[in-house]
Structure 1
């Protein structure tokens, strides 16, 4: 032996009489396990590469624990941080070295418990604590929308403070962003671009559901020198299932609550050259008064198509300025012809009812229009226009990634009528 002799507790031996006839002697410790009474302090045999003083460990370097082969072998290692997360590692075949196989978290405090056996088979232990240095570059997440009650079509958004392009790094981020719903739903994240993700279920959220989103990125290594930071969780509630289906060909909107028709409204939609977009849109907000100008959508002042109107009960469905709103000037065409510049117009009384009935996240779907399809991203929430298979392909944890563009901020607040 090349280490200091240990003072070991004498292990009591008890003669066991078994029903098979023969007597046998066995040695037990106080917990009933052979040779487990009062393991000795193995501080002299077990070595760590973590700092033993107040210095912080580099989280980019793996944790290594070793024992001299002539002193025995390591039998077990447990490494946990203050949140109870375990650090994975690998023990060599001869028990001489344990090395972490998962990255350490930055700015975390770890407790390390090592068990070993010396060359005579006696158990020893050593426990240490150490802290890792905080990262100078943090990735944090801002969830959206703000807490509240929303319609069944509302996606969850996650805005990152730094771009994440590498597929493996995206998988780390995505696996740490947890969304839970009661009742449970099938859903996944979709990478809109390098800094933005959307989460939606396979189908619309169940009416009355509660939805929460939380980031477990804090301290997690995302990429070289980039670690996750703390982020605020989000909790939403889902209201009734409100769906407004606008048939541009029939000039009529049908509004359903939880599958039951609650109103049928004559409307006018976009005329040729300004046809309303087809597809599923999500209510983005409501504005009692909006001043709408043709110049905001590229119509020259003084041209035959020019307009400057005061509009009331305006429910926004795209950032570029598509609304459902009161259009008293076109009541004679509502239910018969499409005469707007892209919005869905209706009488003032119907617009007031619609304005009071819907909330953010409710569904507005346009069918049978000559317009283009609603863009999935960049002009509101067109997420539901992607099939479930296509949506899942935008997840780094499912298959591949999708490059997209950020919303055109210059296009915001451009009303159309």
Structure 2
């Protein structure tokens, strides 16, 4: 190949290489205009909403504080009291909606106090959004802490109801009852019944199963009882149901039969209330015991010096109602025990048998009186007449029925 021809071939190869290079790299219209491409748009700010609006007043201190985030993630929730001191708490997703978070204080918020809330969220670009609000908790006209029986840690018989006693009549019974939470180691069908405006009882349809562990969580702090009264604090009480002791006092047969569980352990001759002072029928509950006590007819309205009145010392007295009915030693009526009813309403036994029953009994045991000429145990007879109330009627006494 000549020199001139070689030069022509080289020129063609160079031109082809340049064309190929241009074809591979290409060129966009943006490049031609000198741009670098359209930038990605910024993410919208996260949106925050606090469940308590700014300036809210009369807030119950147990009200959940919820924060909802839209278009982002919650970063922090901080609560401070009126002095600016941080209130320790924790944040967790709401059980029914992960987009909502619930802030819970380590200790309950106070009554009549001011608080501020600062919530922060971030969007997809990690840009922060912050919202603040403040609220004031309610100022109660009065605070109330109920008494509870049985006492914590005690063991009681199968007939003892769970009882809650309030200082004053409860106006909003449904609100209070919804915060009286009962759990049992053996499932029961127990229900609350308001036996009075200031007293609620809980029992199953039949006697408690022996050995059951019963716990009441009275979560009443921050709960309105109505009419300006609020719960002062939460209380928890746990007790145990002991052995099943159910006795039957048959006034017609003049016998007291005593059972330990399902086993008959004693059959005693007895004397119940006379026709003038009959013992009440129905399930009585052992309330307390006295190894010695002075009985006085004036305690139920009959003067000691009136016809039929009395004042006498007795031994081994087991109280079974608050109307003066006991199982007790009565050596003076020994001749009538097993054949006639001559007492003022009590169950009379010999001294030896009364002592045995006294030693055997525990609060909450049951004495079912049958065959008496008297009426049935009722509210007029004191604290515990619960088992005389038919089950359907008992359930209707719940404020949540």
Give the TM-score normalised by structure 1: 0.69
Pick from 380, 385, 396 the counterpart of residue 383 of structure 2. 380
Preserved CA contact (<8 Å) 1:142 1:232: no
Partner residue in 2 for 1:257: 260
- Kindly provide the CA deviation profile for residues 262-305 of structure 1, in whole angstroms up to 9, marking residues without a partner as x: 11110000111111111111001001111123343344444552
Partner residue in 2 for 1:150: 156
Q: Report whether the alignment pairs 1:357 with 2:360.
A: yes
Preserved CA contact (<8 Å) 1:50 1:63: no
Q: CA shift at 1:217, angstroms? A: 1.8
Pick from 373, 381, 396 the counterpart of residue 370 of structure 1. 373
The 1:85–1:369 alpha-carbon spacing in structure 2 relative to 1, beyond 3 Å, is farther
CA distance, structure 1, for counterparts of residue 156 and residue 67 of structure 2? 55
Preserved CA contact (<8 Å) 2:46 2:72: no
CA distance, structure 2, for counterparts of residue 74 and residue 225 of structure 1? 41
Preserved CA contact (<8 Å) 2:46 2:123: no
Q: CA shift at 1:179, angstroms? A: 1.2
Partner residue in 2 for 1:22: none
CA distance, structure 2, for counterparts of residue 300 and residue 192 of structure 1? 30
Report matched runs for 1:1-12 at 5 Å: none
Q: CA shift at 1:38, angstroms? A: 10
Q: CA shift at 1:389, angstroms? A: 0.6
Pick from 136, 140, 143 the counterpart of residue 138 of structure 1. 143
- Kindly provide the CA deviation profile for residues 321-369 of structure 1, in whole angstroms up to 9, marking residues without a partner as x: 1100001111111101111111000000100000000100000110000
Q: Report whether the alignment pairs 1:161 with 2:167.
A: yes
Partner residue in 1 for 2:101: none
Pick from 25, 50, 55 the counterpart of residue 54 of structure 2. 50
Report matched runs for 1:92-107 at 5 Å: 107=111
Q: CA shift at 1:257, angstroms? A: 1.2
Give the TM-score normalised by structure 2: 0.71
Q: Report whether the alignment pairs 1:172 with 2:175.
A: yes
Q: Report whether the alignment pairs 1:333 with 2:330.
A: no
> SS at 1:339's partner residue?
coil
CA distance, structure 2, for counterparts of residue 232 and residue 63 of structure 1? 20
CA distance, structure 1, for counterparts of residue 388 and residue 315 of structure 2? 29
The 1:293–1:134 alpha-carbon spacing in structure 2 relative to 1, beyond 3 Å, is same
Contiguous gaps of at least 5 residues in structure 1:
1-34, 91-103, 399-417
CA distance, structure 1, for counterparts of residue 94 and residue 169 of structure 2? 27
Contiguous gaps of at least 5 residues in structure 2:
1-39, 80-87, 98-107
- Computed over aligned residues only, the root mean square deviation of the Cα atoms, in angstroms, reads 4.2
Q: Which has the larger radius of gyration?
A: 2
Q: Which moved more, 1:208-217 or 1:277-286?
A: 208-217
Partner residue in 1 for 2:59: 59
> SS at 1:329's partner residue?
helix
Partner residue in 1 for 2:84: none
Preserved CA contact (<8 Å) 2:317 2:326: yes
